[in-house]
Amino acid sequence: MYWRILKLRSLLPLSLVLGLALSCGVSVAQEASSEEPLAEEAANTASPEPSPEQLFTQLISARSTSKKTELIERIAQSDFPRAQDILTALQEGDLYYTRDDAQTLVYAKRHPDGYSLTSVMTDGDLGVVGRRDVRKISINNSLRSLLRGILAEMALRNEDPARRLEAAKNLVRSPDESYLPAIERALAAEQDDKVIESLKLAAAMINIDDEDQATRLSAIEAMRGSLDSDILSLLSAMQLTDSDGNYMERDETVRLAAASVLKEAKAATQLYKLVENTFFGLSLGSVLLLTAVGLAITFGVMGVINMAHGEMMMLGAYTTYVIQQIMPNHIDISIIVAIPAAFVVSGLVGIAIERGVIRHLYGRPLETLLATFGISLILQQAVRTIFSPLNKSVTTPSWLSGSWEINGALSLTYNRLYIIVFSIIVLLGLVLLMKKTYMGLQMRAVTQNRAMANSMGIRSAWVDALTFGLGSGIAGIAGVALSQLTNVGPNLGQNYIIDSFMVVVFGGVGNLFGTFFAAMSLGVANKFMEPFAGAVLAKIFVLVFIILFIQWRPRGLFALKGRSVED
């Protein structure tokens, strides 16, 4: 009995210990189960998505290609506004980091003293550092291929359709198989017809090298109707033969399909080449119209052969240059300010020449010619003294820069297009002045019969001065237009004075419609003859034609009635 009691007494502490342990275990398990969601939530919030700055810092420290690949893809998927620029710099080898902290990402351009740094995050200038103060983020060929595809896709996702179109055209120029997935995804989402067309051409440029014949034929068919130079070069290359006379393209079906598409493209190219030559001829004719219309007025009203007319154009061009120097921060509107300024400057100089020299030489055409030739030399030397003999460059405004690209074979430059429109506006304004104003009425009266106009009370001397000023002012406007096509120099006007006289004589002295017709026809004739005869021979042929034409019609195509007939 005692033994049993002793045994029970000895087991009691053990049971208490076991019970206590069991109850503690249960409570611990309950606490653990209750804290499980909290731990899970903490795990989810412990590692948030890193910011772009953190991704760039990790890119600096990354060493393996797999890690760099992961970071590049995450940067491309982020909404960081400079992501595309940064990845482009990485691809081109311009992305560096500073060695002092190994955390600052910079753009680096070579400098005589080392590298010129720009902050990636702020675009701020960080100055120039030594070559050992920065280190390039290196990439290998696989990363370059990855970057090409990523950058292509990022460009094709741009909100601006013009940027997407430019990106698609770049893919046509440099096709690569790695671009194909990005092109297919872009095609599925694209809405702009021009971008879709360029993307299809880019896909065709890639698929043309496929091993499957059907895929290649489909790619060639997608190229039908395109006049892109890269497409035409590719199709032409498929028609080449090797030294043994065998075609480089072994698949005859593919080669014949390419030849068919190429033939259609060449026929269309010839047609558009004709249109382009006509456009360039009209633009040259517009320049000739601006340079000759003022000369036609002074020659028609006053009978004066003004050899200084080219220098009036030169003064207008230099006025444009001066206006741009005065308004360096407003280049886009400086050309608008230069037009009336050039008219006033050249017009006042013209009036001064007429009042100071020419009015004393009326009735002596040879002496007038020599006097105006001397004035032209004086004006040229004055410009050399003031502005130096070197040519001056006039900046083209942004709205005059670039070209209107209709297709791969035809693009019209904006500056020539605007000059055509501008010359027509000037001509219409001059016609309204001559037909609808009192000054124009007096000018026409003096042109037709000076003696009768004087007897009617018209002061022909002042009409002569204003006419000469008007013609010189229009020449100044022509100089503004010429400054957008060529450099401004002291000899600018000499390049156009002979052409101006040919236009005036061919069209009919003093006749504005004849001047317009002559300028446009001579401009187009020059441009169509240049490809066959060259620029110099083309001018010679035009000159010979005009000499022969004047023998047949001495007063030009559209001669005025009046004093010019009587004389």
Token duo for residue 164: 């997407």
Q: What band does 322 get if pLDDT is binned at 50, 70 and 90? A: very high
- CB of 514 closer than 8 Å to CB of 557: yes
Q: How many other C-beta atoms are found inside a 10 Å radius of the C-beta of residue 179?
A: 25
Could you tell me the maximum CA-CA distance found in the chain, to the nearest angstrom?
Answer: 167
Query: Which pLDDT value is given to residue 561?
Result: 57
CA distances from 129 to 108, 109, 252, 330 (A): 10, 11, 60, 35
Q: Comparing 488 with 82, which gets the higher pLDDT?
A: 488
Short-list 263, 262, 238, CA closest to 251: 238
Q: Comparing 556 with 70, which gets the higher pLDDT?
A: 70
Residues 6+ apart with CB under 8 A from 483: 316, 317, 320, 321, 394
Query: Which pLDDT value is given to residue 6?
Result: 33
Query: Which pLDDT value is given to residue 315?
Result: 92
Short-list 375, 243, 386, CA closest to 325: 386
Annotated domain spans of the chain: 52-139, 159-250, 272-392+400-566
Reply yes or no on whether the pLDDT at 192 is more than 50.
yes
Query: Which pLDDT value is given to residue 105?
Result: 78
Q: How many other C-beta atoms are found inside a 10 Å radius of the C-beta of residue 16?
A: 10
Q: What band does 176 get if pLDDT is binned at 50, 70 and 90? A: confident
- CB of 323 closer than 8 Å to CB of 345: no
Q: How many other C-beta atoms are found inside a 10 Å radius of the C-beta of residue 342?
A: 30
Distance CA 439, CA 462 (A): 10
Query: Which pLDDT value is given to residue 12?
Result: 38
The whole-number average pLDDT for the span 488-512 is 81
The whole-number average pLDDT for the span 150-163 is 79
- CB of 261 closer than 8 Å to CB of 235: yes
Token duo for residue 137: 């983020």
- CB of 72 closer than 8 Å to CB of 87: yes
Detail the DSSP E strand segments found in 61-167.
95-98, 105-111, 114-119, 125-129, 134-136
Residues 6+ apart with CB under 8 A from 71: 55, 58, 59, 62
pLDDT in tens, 195-215: 888 888 888 888 888 888 888
pLDDT in tens, 236-273: 888 888 777 777 778 888 888 988 888 988 888 888 88
The whole-number average pLDDT for the span 287-313 is 82
pLDDT in tens, 124-140: 788 888 877 888 887 88
Query: Which pLDDT value is given to residue 339?
Result: 92
Query: Which pLDDT value is given to residue 52?
Result: 67
pTM metric for this prediction: 0.68
CATH architecture of 272-392+400-566: Orthogonal Bundle (1.10)
